[in-house]
Amino acid sequence: MDEKEAKNTSADELLKALSCTKDGLSSAEAQKRLENYGLNEIVEKKLSPLVKDVRFKR
């Protein structure tokens, strides 16, 4: 489902599509998603000092 479609969908339909409830995920569903998708984190890329310096000077 893309953003435009999601905006035109009721909250109940979105919750059903996302397999959750207004109270959140069940423990079993949370564990399943953790195993399938991993931790909900953003990994920061390490930049070399030279690249950082070039970006800073722009």
Mean pLDDT of the chain: 86
d(CA 33, CA 20): 12
Expressed as residue numbers, the domain containing 32 is 3-56
> What 3-state DSSP class applies to 10?
coil
DSSP class of 20:
-
Percent of the chain residues past pLDDT 90, beyond the cut: 41
For the full predicted model, state whether its pTM sits above 0.85.
Answer: no
Q: Quote the number of domains for the chain.
A: 1
Question: What is the per-residue pLDDT for 37?
Answer: 92
Which tokens belong to 6?
Answer: 């999601």
pLDDT in tens, 28-56: 989 999 999 999 888 888 877 777 666 66
